[in-house]
Amino acid sequence: MARRLRSRPTRIANCALVVCLCAVASFPVYWMFVTAVSPEREMYSANPPLFPWHTKIKAFADLLAAGQAGEWLLNSVIVSFCAVAATLVASILSGYGISRFRFRGSTLFGVLLLATQMLPQALIVVPVYIIFRGLHLLNSLFGLVVIKLAINVPVATWILKGYFDTVPREIEEAALIDGCTRLQALRRVVLPTALPAVIAVGVIVLIEAWNEYLFATTLITSQQRWVTSVGLASFIGMFTVPIEQVMAGALLFTLPVLVLYFTFQRYIVSGLTGGAVKG
Amino acid sequence: MQRRPRGTEQHLPYILVLPTLLIILTILIYPIIQGIATSLYRSEGLQPGTGRFVGLDNYLRLLKDKEFWNAARVTVVYAFWCIIGTLGVGLGTALLLNQRFAGRGIARVIMTLPWAVPEVAASLIWIWMLNPDVGIVNVLATRLGLITHNIRWLNQIEWALPTMLFVTIWKVFPFSSVVLLTALQAVPEELYEVAAIDGAGTWHSFRQVTIPGIRPTLTLLTLLVTIWSLKRFTLIWVMTQGGPVGQTETFGLIVYRTAFKFFDMGYAAAIGVVGLAISAIVTAVFLWVEQRRTEAA
């Protein structure tokens, strides 16, 4: 439990430190916003405004009009949502499987799930590239969805398993006695109870797929299939795109994630720290 | 009451886990095996199978490769300071947030911002802020009298890695602080009261009550941050591509550069295998040490 502060100087020092930390934590995000809405001239001057006195949101219009940013965002949306759908299907099934059944290999399966989390992506990107090339999955959003599915399904399975474990078996037993098959019981009884975990997984995977960069930049070659992260990264080193447009793009890329994150924060934190979302 | 599985239900669990198992085996496990195979060939171009089988040549080559050993050094240094920084700042933040004060809730929300911002966006912002000529960091630092001439944060040999570490810790500390705050709040108040009665001062009760109380969390966090440091790619690649003269080139980056800039797939795969082995060993050692410690306790 939180401790009561003891003395006045301690309290003041505490507050000062908290304010400093908050400033350092939030300033870059704030600066992205300021840069996106301030005239370029000001940002490049010797005294860039710390507060956006002269806002102009033309940067956003320019960025979207120049053509590609809209496409990039659309691609990101497609890949993210498809990845969520696919991951949920696979992980609900497997999470339920290892939650409710003790079968030969279930422990090994669990270990396998955990082991994949230690895998640095950069170390499999080369073989995955070669394999995808053979399967003609290169330069396709579908290929990207497949890779996102593979990366997220272990965590998703684990979170859902943890939550399914807390759903009392009696409820399912009742449904089974009433004549449901296992899968029907899963769909009608267990899943509705496990909704918080499903939401948590959905949001976590959505954010993770939205933020994807390494495979997106390696596997996709044509510009119109770029996702937003790759498109934004391509601005670096290019001096043709004004900085306020770059920051506007970054802001458009970041806002959905921030909204998702803070709306569903409770679910995300509970999901990631271990399944005890109930109550 | 356990129902004994009959008929199709006996096979049901296998069917349930099949999609996940297939996906993991084909997309994650098989590439590892493929990577090991590729590492035994000297590739000519991107075509698989056009290389000559050279056995362990690639591995012998990397043992003599200065850039490989540089990447090893950078990886270790980066991971080490990430752990210290993330845990240190995270713990400090958690301790501060563990006090009751007005605006505590808002502070907690604000402090999760770095964690929530996508890596690519964060990289872009920091590149802009660290711009030597017009970036706000140099502007403010000059105005505050902290520096006399503009530092090229991402381009100077001595500053590139420390700068990357700063940005990394900025990005990751919120997670660490949230986890540690939960752990801190789980330490029973009575233990502190007992320590106070025994005459312990702030520092002493911190050492004797707080640290042991959150030790399991600290350990888990250390493992997580280590693995994340070994996994980290996007932030570093987008900001420095391995930095001036490889100053920020970790294993992940050198594998990527070797494969996709030099198209030396066999060699890249070999480095990848080594990196993977190191990750596995680090994790295993960690888990073993933890096992020993919890057994001894």
Chain B residues whose CB is inside 8 A of the A257 CB are 116-118
Does pLDDT of A141 surpass 70? yes
Chain A residues whose CB is inside 8 A of the B21 CB are 94, 109, 112
Mean pLDDT confidence for A68-93: 95
Work out the mean pLDDT of chain B and round it to a whole number: 89
Mean pLDDT confidence for A81-104: 94
Residue A138 lies in a domain: yes
Q: pLDDT for B13-68, tens place per residue? A: 899 999 999 999 999 999 999 889 989 988 765 555 567 888 899 999 999 999 99
Residue A217 lies in a domain: yes
Chain B residues whose CB is inside 8 A of the A153 CB are 20, 23-24
3-state SS assignment for residue B176: helix
The top-scoring range by mean pLDDT among B170-174, B192-196, B200-204 is B170-174
- Tokens 């711009």 belong to B131
Residue A143 lies in a domain: yes
Q: Which of A53-62, A140-149, A193-202, B253-262 has the lowest mean pLDDT?
A: A53-62
Tell which of A124, A142, A152 to mutate to test the B interface (max B CBs under 10 Å).
A124
Q: Which of A25-34, A55-64, A201-210 has the lowest mean pLDDT?
A: A55-64
Residue A29 lies in a domain: no
pLDDT at A54: 74
Q: How confident is the model at residue A277 (pLDDT cuts 50, 70, 90)?
A: very low
Q: Angle at CA B83, nearest 5°, toward B79 and B86?
A: 125
Work out the mean pLDDT of chain A and round it to a whole number: 88
pLDDT at B165: 97
pLDDT at A150: 95
pLDDT at A276: 39
pLDDT at A48: 74
Q: How confident is the model at residue B4 (pLDDT cuts 50, 70, 90)?
A: low
Give the closest-approach CA distance of B297 to chain A in angstroms: 24
**DSSP code per residue over A100-112:** H---TTHHHHHHH
Chain A residues whose CB is inside 8 A of the B96 CB are 14, 17-18, 21
3-state SS assignment for residue B42: strand
Answer with the residue of higher pLDDT: B40 or A179: B40
Chain B residues whose CB is inside 8 A of the A124 CB are 28, 31-32, 35, 272
Does pLDDT of A153 surpass 90? yes
CB atoms within 10 A of CB A163: 27
pTM of the model: 0.91
The domain total for chain A is 1
Q: Which of A53-67, A130-144, A204-218, A224-238 has the lowest mean pLDDT?
A: A53-67
Does pLDDT of A2 surpass 60? no
Give the closest-approach CA distance of A237 to chain B in angstroms: 10
Residue A27 lies in a domain: no
* Cβ pairs A/B, distance under 8 A: 264
pLDDT at B6: 56
Give the closest residue to A109 by CA, choosing from A49, A71, A153, A149. Answer: A153
Residue A195 lies in a domain: yes
Determine the structural domain holding residue A206 and report its residue range.
72-274
Residue in A97, A122, A176 nearest the CB of B255:
A122
Does pLDDT of A275 surpass 50? no
Distance (Å, rounded) from C-alpha A72 to C-alpha A118? 30
Does pLDDT of A85 surpass 60? yes
Give the closest-approach CA distance of A258 to chain B in angstroms: 6
Distance (Å, rounded) from C-alpha B269 to C-alpha B254? 11
Answer with the residue of higher pLDDT: A206 or A177: A206
Distance (Å, rounded) from C-alpha B121 to C-alpha A66? 20
Residue A51 lies in a domain: no
- Cβ contact, residue pair B268, A109, below 8 Å: no
Interface of B with A in 47-106 (CB under 8 A): 48, 92-93, 96-101, 104
Does pLDDT of A119 surpass 80? yes
- Nearest residue of chain B to residue A132 (CA atoms): B27
Tell which of A123, A201, A245, A247 to mutate to test the B interface (max B CBs under 10 Å).
A123
Mean pLDDT confidence for B238-266: 92
Interface of A with B in 106-165 (CB under 8 A): 106, 109, 112-113, 116-131, 133-134, 146-147, 149-151, 153-154, 157
Residue B210 backbone phi and psi in degrees, to 5: -65, -55
Residue in B174, B178, B252 nearest the CB of A123:
B252
ipTM: 0.90
Domain CATH code at residue A225:
1.10.3720.10
Does pLDDT of A50 surpass 80? no
Residue A10 lies in a domain: no
Q: pLDDT for B120-168, tens place per residue? A: 999 999 999 999 998 999 999 998 888 888 999 999 999 999 999 999 9
**Is residue B126 within 8 angstroms of chain A, CB to CB?**
yes
Answer with the residue of higher pLDDT: B169 or A168: B169
Q: Which domains does chain B have, with CATH numbers?
A: 70-296 (1.10.3720.10)
What is the 8-class DSSP label of residue B43? -
Q: pLDDT for B88-130, tens place per residue? A: 999 999 999 998 888 888 999 999 999 999 999 999 999 999 9
Q: Are B132 and B153 in contact (CB under 8 A)?
A: yes
